[in-house]
Amino acid sequence: MVQVAKRDRAGSGTERSFADAVAKLELGAGETFHGEAIVAVTKALLQAGVSYVGGYPGAPVSHLIDVMAEAYDRILRPYGIHFEQSASEAGAAAMLGASIHYPLRGAVTWKSIVGTNVASDALSNLASAGVVGGALIVVGEDYGEGASVIQERTHAAAMKSSLPLIDPRYHMPLMVDLTEQAFDLSEACHLPVMMSLRIRAAHMTGSFVCRDNRPPAFGANNPVPRARFDYAKMVLPPSTYIQEKAKLEKRLPAAQAYILSHGLNEVFGPADGRIGIILQGGTYGVTLQALARLGAADGLGNSEVPLLVLNVIHPLVPEQILAFLDGKDQVLVIEEGNPAFIETQVRAMAQEAGVTCRIRGKDLLPAAGEFIAPVVRAGVHGFLSDAAPDPLKTRAEGRNAAIEAAAEAGRTAAATPPMPTRPPGFCVGCPERPVFTALKLLMRERGPIHVSGDIGCHTFATLPPFGIGNTVLGYGLGLASGGAVGPALDQPVVAVMGDGGFWHNGLATGAVNAQWQGLDAVLIVLENGYASATGQQHLPSSGTTPWGRRAEVSIEDALRGIGVTWIRRVDPYSVGATLDVLRQAMDARGPHLRAVISDAECMLAKKRRGNRRKARAERAGRPVRRARFGVDAEVCTGDHSCVRLSGCPSLTLRPSDDPLKDAPTAHVDTDCVACALCGEAAQAARLCPSFYKARGTVNATAWQRARAALNRRALDLLGAS
Amino acid sequence: MTAERPVCVQIAALGGQGGGVLAEWLTEAARLAGYPAQATSIPGVAQRTGATTYYFELFPERDPAGTPVFSLFPDADGLDLLAALEPTEAGRARENGLVTARTTVLTATARIYSTAEKMVAGDGLIPAAVILDGLAAAAGRMVPLDLAELSAKAGGPANAVMFGAIIASGVLPLSADDGRAAIRAGGKAVEANLAGFDVGLAAVDQPAEAVPEGSPVYSAPPPGFEDRIAALPEALRPLVGHALARLVDYQDAAYAGAYLDRLEPVVALDRGDGVALSAEVAKRLAAWMSYEDGIRVAQLKTRPGRLARIRGELGIDADAPFQVVEYLRPGPEEIAAILPPALARWVLRLGGGWDRGGRRVDTTSPAGYATFKAVAALRRWRPRTHGFRHENAAIGRWLDAVVAAARHDRALARQVAELAIWARGYGTVRRRGLDHLESLFVNWNNRLDAEPETVAADVARSLATARGDPDNDNREAA
């Protein structure tokens, strides 16, 4: 058994700095903000006078939480704004309950669709009860390129719970205005409002002229006078029946009235015209790009085709839609993802009103997949080619043909093998990688084992070279998702979970349940100290809160507390020892949970801290150690077993100039952090004697140099030089 | 006249290469120069290894009559400039129809290999030259840059070099001073970044020349073999000379002579019909005869100059403390291999019960180095070791199988020669490989006569396994 001393994890929140972004949050009226959209939206929350902010990190909105956490002492606390990094999206949505009874403006954020799914219990209850204080949910739409979640629309959740859904045109001043107006809208219709930002939009740069931050109407500095009770806001009958009717009869109509009267949706282009395009605000840029390339618009957004830009995609405003359809033969709906809720509704409105305008959409644009430029251009070209009058039709066809021909010429200019994919993977020195090395070796001994995967960096283990993790059912659900698998395969349930997943859902749904029901299960918890995949946010077990106050909740204690007695901490870099513990855990069959905690800090965090310290020391002339692994190319036989057990970016290959070698030899590049995995794996798997660890001291002291000189003299006598 | 479209730039990079900072510099330079512009990114998740792309649009008019509309996506045939910090990332953009006659491509020439390429048991690498040629054929203008060298020359980071090259390409209406101002405004490592930027500015006019990676370097043949080498076909001579030099270093001149004794009959088989088979055998035989036993590993690890090389790579002064620790795990097979047969049998009977997961030996300590020297000194006794006899018996079986196959089918014989790749690795991997070959060659001559198709299929399957799944990871559950 391996017992590792609890490490000294700095965890002081100093791994990263968002000082630049925090400074932007302090800009006053008339000053110009330059920066990323997600920070602009964060600033807009302060301008709207929020009383509280929460959320759960996830791309592309983690930054909102990061920046708020860092701004905690400088801005939030002085303003009396409450801030939490919520335990989960459900917790974040539940936080909005503060706005049910009290005129408190609040905003929370998460990654959708997954976060919305986790939050949906609280969201449904919140929307049914209704709010008096403006409540905003900023969701990061993880759809398309770079996405790390299943591809579904948030739109469905907004529709079923009657949440107004803003999909803003990506023009930063407008995004800021709409963020602030979202609170007014929420208060006008008593519904929580969602605003959705696609990945590229969250990272988009731009500028806007700021307003002053507004202190919240109520908050820590100015408490609400007294607690309120109102059974009409309880989600129990008969209130729920009344609430359901209110949503349809009062709240959504109030939202529609606000949208119309405040001009939240926009109309561009000529007032007349036989064709038109209805589009989601977020697709405005790519649509105008397509129109410009097809000769139907200029670079300043002057379009020959009338456009109805829906910055609010739910609820639609029938009179606005019908007014746009009026007098047109065909209208194209540009709507990303499926089902095509907007298109279906527009078609129904036209049909009910007896309007003959033909509604186009998914017949010209793909039902699935991100609306990137070539996709939208193809759809718009199809529409113009079919519906536009000449000369626009001919122009669009000619331009599109030229674009396609040029692209094809580029693609086929020379025959090249397909480029290898390059998905994200474990970083150099990542402490999670060696756990999968050990698991892979275990499977070489025992044959395939079904491993229930989870959400986190460790999901990358499903990719080459490991291919470990048979299913992923949701965050923290790894252990729960294996319950019926282990018995069916006559193996213990084996689940891998990060510390993020453990706290998010894994403790209650997985560990407690397994322990209670006597599951024959092995839970591997990768405790690296952070929610690393989303940008190293702190967790209950990190050691500090997001804003740096010391506070630690222990995973091991939690497991002991629920009665788990078989707990082993391993240093994952000791691959052989980890493999040994995994064997023991597998073999300790019986109706109880075995927990293996891999205990090593996220290397990115460790490196960020360590590199700064080392750079300071080296500049100051103090001794600094340097270490790296290496491979003797002559000893390497080029079989690349080491790569198949690691996948470390730093463990790479070098074409060999030895005519007797069949293949490139292994090579460790200068990014190596000397985590020792390659050496350990070579030993654990009995690969080869090629690996060595080299280390030396920069700025060595005179005493160190003198000892080194003695040693060197001895080696020289033996013929080493 | 209003411009119809912005100038469109994509930066393709790997996580950690500084593509984000490069995009920030571009955005800042545009802002300082008074051009409307917008950048965005798919930085991936927090990880540092996957492909990342940054997309930037600049409207080429300082005070347009309205608000330019920017897109977050490049369109096909829509990139004016592609700046790639790694060639496959540029190649990927070409696959997506983004590199066309309107595109200027600035790309790093050095490959950073993907996991998929590195995992292949043989050579799965895509050479940079193939990708660069494809880009040159597709792009309007192609500027390959040796970023590593330029960056070393400048003492500045590669992304700053690329920033300089982007400005110098003239695709954007931004001046060198705009670029420098953006770097200063960034405020981080300003001097190093400016140095890189200036080198990048100049580099566009001197594109890098593609250097072929890993072209073979032949050692000079050792003296004493002149006549026998001269008797070989000319095409074989550099390879055989190299092999002889290797074997003299490995053992002695007599051993190198034994190599020629084995090779010459195969060369005779090839006479009058190229050297395909004999070249294959010449290479495989030399590699096998210089198999890496413990003695060889100790010899290589105690070579004069090795420690100095490692020290240099680590950037440690000659007089500073320095340590090299070898990660070893000799199993019973490897220990037995360098012992006389009687002792070896005893060790093999003993098994690996003593094994506690490996040894770490400090070859920079006098004791560690002396131990390795002592093992290397066993070289003169090598021919009497268990391993030598075992390997040479296997070599003999393999050569006989090659010669027998050549009598039936020259192409099959060449594949049989290739089967020597199974004689690789150390310890159990090596034993598995040799066992596999031995079982394949059982009853070989009779089978060649009786069922040549089955034999050919077996050989093909064996080669595919050797290259595709040497660890047997894809087997079905036992």
Q: Which of B26, B49, B361 to mutate to test the interface with A (most CBs of A within 10 A)?
A: B49
Boundary residue ending a domain (A203, A233, A260): A260
For B106-162, the pLDDT digits (tens) are 999 999 999 999 998 889 999 999 999 999 999 999 999 999 999 999 999 999 999
pLDDT beyond 90 at A64? yes
A628 in the same domain as A490: no
Q: What is the mean pLDDT of residues A271-291?
A: 97
**Interchain contact, B313 vs A694, CB within 8 Å:** yes
DSSP state of A471: B
Size of interface A-B (CB pairs under 8 A): 423
For the cut 60, the answer to whether the pLDDT of residue B477 exceeds it is no
B276: nearest Cα among B445, B392, B402, B394: B402
Residues A467 and A570 in one domain: yes
Same domain, A253 and A276: no
Q: Residue B46 above 50 pLDDT?
A: no
Judge if A640 and A545 occupy the same domain. Answer: no
What pLDDT digit, counting tens, does each position of B386-399 carry? Answer: 999 999 999 999 99
Report angle CA B130, B131, B132 to the nearest 5 degrees: 95
CA geometry: angle A672, B18, B37, nearest 5 deg: 170
HSE-up of residue B24 (Cα within 13 Å, Cβ side) = 17
* pLDDT value, residue B47: 55
Establish if A415 belongs to a structural domain.
no
pLDDT at B467 over 90: no
Cis peptide before A465 (omega within 30 of 0): yes
A42: domain CATH number is 3.40.50.970
Q: Assess whether pLDDT exceeds 50 at residue A24.
A: yes
In a shared domain, residues A252 and A272: no
Same domain, yes or no: A254 and A380: no
pLDDT beyond 60 at A189 = yes
Domain B7-203, architecture per CATH: 3-Layer(aba) Sandwich (3.40)
> In this predicted structure, what is the pLDDT of residue B175?
98
- Looking at the complex, report in whole angstroms how far the Cα of residue B454 sits from the nearest Cα belonging to chain A: 27
Query: Residue A671: which residues within 8 A CB-CB, separation 6 or more?
Result: A428, A649, A650, B16
| A695 contacts chain B (CB < 8 A) | yes
Distance from C-alpha of B438 to C-alpha of B188, rounded to nearest angstrom? 63
Q: Are residues A220 and A301 in the same domain?
A: no
Arithmetic mean of pLDDT, A582-597: 98
Q: Is A140 in the same domain as A185?
A: yes
Q: Which H or E element spans position A319? A: helix A318-325
C-beta atoms surrounding B76 within 10 Å: 23
Per residue in B178-236, pLDDT (tens digit) is 999 999 999 999 999 999 999 999 999 887 776 667 788 999 999 999 999 999 999 99
> Is this structure's pTM higher than 0.90?
yes
Contact A231, A239 (CB under 8 A): yes
Final residue before a domain boundary, out of A230, A260, A290: A260
Q: In angstroms, how far is the first alpha carbon of chain A from the final one?
A: 43
Asked whether B362 and B323 are in contact (CB, 8 A), the reply is yes
Per-residue confidence at A536, pLDDT binned at 50, 70, 90? confident
A695, part of any domain: yes
Residue A416 domain flag: no
B321 and A704: CB-CB below 8 Å? yes
**Vertex B76: Cα angle to B73 and B79 (nearest 5):** 70
Q: B472's torsion region: left (phi>0), alpha (psi -120 to 50) or beta?
A: left
Number of domains in chain A: 4
Beta strands in A406-515 (DSSP E): 451-452, 493-498
> Is the residue at A233 inside a domain?
yes
Say if residue A662's pLDDT is above 90.
no
* Euclidean distance between CA atoms B274 and B102, whole angstroms: 47
At residue A666, does pLDDT exceed 90? yes
User: Residue B240: its chain A contacts at CB < 8 A?
Assistant: none
The residue written with tokens 């990880």 in the block is: B47
Beta-carbon separation of B322 and A696 below 8 A:
yes
Query: Does the pLDDT of residue A1 top 50, yes or no?
Result: no
Q: Looking at the complex, report in whole angstroms how far the Cα of residue A358 sits from the nearest Cα belonging to chain B.
A: 28
Residue A357 has pLDDT above 70, yes or no: yes
> Quick check: is A19 in a domain?
no
Amino acid at A427: C
Whole-number Å distance between alpha carbons of A14 and A70:
10
Domain range holding A319?
A: 266-408
Rounded to a whole number, what is the distance in Å from the CA of A248 to chain B's nearest CA?
A: 36
A226 touches chain B (CB under 8 A): no
* Tokens 């590993």, located at residue: B297
CA distance linking residue B247 with residue B465, whole number of Å: 29
Judged by a CB distance cut-off of 8 A, whether residue A59 touches chain B is yes
Residue B474 pLDDT? 60
Short-list A642, A569, A537, CA closest to A65? A537
Q: Is residue A332 part of a domain?
A: yes
Average pLDDT of the residues of chain B: 92
Task: Kindly tell me the burial class for residue B474, based on how many C-beta atoms sit within 10 Å of its own C-beta (0-12, 13-18, 19 or more).
Answer: exposed
Listed in sequence order, the DSSP H helices in A161-276 are 172-189, 199-202, 239-246, 252-261
Chain A residue with the nearest C-alpha to that of B330: A686
Residue type, A94: A
**What was the ipTM of the complex prediction?**
0.95
pLDDT at A7: 43
Backbone angles phi, psi at B92, to 5 degrees: -65, -45
Q: Which of B100, B113, B326 sits opposite A406 (nearest CB)?
A: B100
Cβ contact, residue pair A705, B320, below 8 Å = yes
Distance CA B363, CA A631 (A): 14
> Does residue A292 lie within any of the structural domains?
yes
C-alpha neighbours within 13 Å on the C-beta side of residue A402? 12
Q: Cβ–Cβ contacts within 10 Å for residue B478, how many?
A: 6
Calpha distance A351→A340 (Å, rounded): 17
Give the Cβ contact number of residue A474 at 10 Å. 19
Indicate whether A287 and A273 sit together in one domain. yes
Burial class (CB in 10 A: 0-12, 13-18, 19+), A709: middle
Beta strands in A56-146 (DSSP E): 82-83, 106-112, 135-141
More confident residue, B366 or B425: B366
Report pLDDT for B48: 60
Looking at the structure, do residues A485 and A567 belong to the same domain, yes or no? yes
Q: What is the mean pLDDT of chain A?
A: 95
- For residue A2, name the pLDDT band (cuts at 50, 70, 90): very low
In this prediction, residues A565-585 reach a mean pLDDT of: 97
- Tell which of A605, A639, A657 closes a domain: A605
Mutation target vs A (from B22, B59, B72; most A CBs, 10 A cutoff): B72
Q: Which of A146-155, B298-307, B417-426, B462-471 has the lowest mean pLDDT?
A: B462-471
Segment A669-682, tens digit of pLDDT:
999 999 999 999 99
Q: Do A75 and A219 reside in the same domain of the chain?
A: yes
Q: What are phi and psi of A287, to 5 degrees?
A: -70, -45
pLDDT average, residue stretch A24-47: 97
Q: Are residue A543 and residue A577 in the same domain, yes or no?
A: yes
Domain containing A642 — which CATH number?
3.30.70
